[in-house]
Amino acid sequence: MWHSAMRALALCAFVCGPATALAQTYPSKPITVVVPFATGGTADIVARALGQNLAKELGQPIIVDNKGGAGGTIATALLARAPADGYTIMVHHMGIAFNASLYDRLPYDTLRDIAPVAYVGATPNVLVVTNTFSAKTIEEFLAEARAKPGTINYGSGGIGSAGHLPFELLQSMTGIKLVHVPYKGSGPALTDLMSGQIQAMLLTAPAVMPHVSSNRVRALATSGARRTPALPNLPTLDEAGVKGFEYSPWYGAFAPAGVPAPVLARLHSAFNTAIADPDIRQKLAQQGLEVQELTRQQFVELVQADTAKWGRLIKALGIRVAD
């Protein structure tokens, strides 16, 4: 019996030793947080808002690296090819689930090659229009769209982007016909919205709040299941008559598949500590992002469920992105 116990201890030391040592020494150098979009977007806002707290918690500098392009797939491919050591991670949104079905030949498999690390929170989109547009409410917007099909142009950060798919969902639920104008990023689209070149956009609350507050664009409704505290007087699309409409993109951190479990656990804990900071919560809440802590397994299941859910909708609507 004594010999059996010794063998068990020896086996544990052999199997568990490296993992334990890794957990104790990680991280020992700066960590790069890849953001798959340009500066100023919500993913970038989240990464930079959390960066200082992550650095404090992990004891190493956090380097935010924006790698925009192709709806976030360039950065995701970079992450999939990165060493699985926890020194390259990514802050992305629900678009990572869209992309699994939007592209025919991705250089990675979303569910196989990418490991969800930590959930950060979710935010509704805000339906905003240019100030010269006649509609002052979402009811007036829908009425004009029905009366003049094909005359309202809406912009997005590209085909299949987080600003494109909810408009496709809105059209499928209401029967309205709008014209999609895809841009290479939501920033240029927002510039054209403010100048009146396009009439409408659906943007995440953190990205659009400064422009709503400064009256550069007019907000008509939000896309979540309930009103956002950031814009408490603004109705949801569901309240305004589009019954059942609900769209709240989430944000989270990801790593390459194969990162050792102790490192994933360390990163998960660091993100949860960062988002638990009352100042961070208040800062993100003021911009419309509702922070919430999930277990890593819950986040894994959410990514899997949304990959399947949006895959069905994308297929039904026939939306594809040319490779």
- At residue 204, the pLDDT reads 87
pTM of the model: 0.84
Are the CB atoms for 138 and 220 separated by under 8 Å?
Answer: yes
Query: Reduced to 3 states, what is the DSSP secondary structure of residue 256?
Result: strand
- At residue 23, the pLDDT reads 58
- At residue 12, the pLDDT reads 47
How does pLDDT run along the chain (323 residues), one tens digit per residue?
445 544 544 454 455 555 556 657 999 999 999 999 888 888 999 999 999 999 999 999 999 999 988 889 999 999 999 999 999 999 999 999 999 999 989 999 999 999 999 999 999 999 999 999 999 999 999 999 999 999 999 999 888 888 999 999 999 999 999 999 999 878 899 999 999 999 999 998 888 889 999 999 999 999 999 999 889 999 999 999 999 999 999 999 999 999 999 999 999 999 999 999 999 999 888 878 899 999 999 999 999 999 999 999 899 988 888 76
Q: Concatenate the DSSP letters of all residues of 22-68 into one string.
A: HHHH---S-EEEEESS-TTSHHHHHHHHHHHHHHHHHTS-EEEEE--
Number of Cβ atoms within 10 Å of the Cβ of 75: 25
Q: Residue 233 contacts by C-beta under 8 Å, 6 or more apart in sequence?
A: none
- Fold classification of 30-123+249-317 is D-Maltodextrin-Binding Protein; domain 2 (3.40.190)
Are the CB atoms for 257 and 90 separated by under 8 Å?
Answer: no
Return the CATH number of 125-222, one of 3.40.50.720, 3.40.190.10, 1.10.443.10, 3.30.110.40.
Answer: 3.40.190.10
CATH 3.40.190.10 in the chain is located at 125-222
Query: Reduced to 3 states, what is the DSSP secondary structure of residue 173?
Result: helix
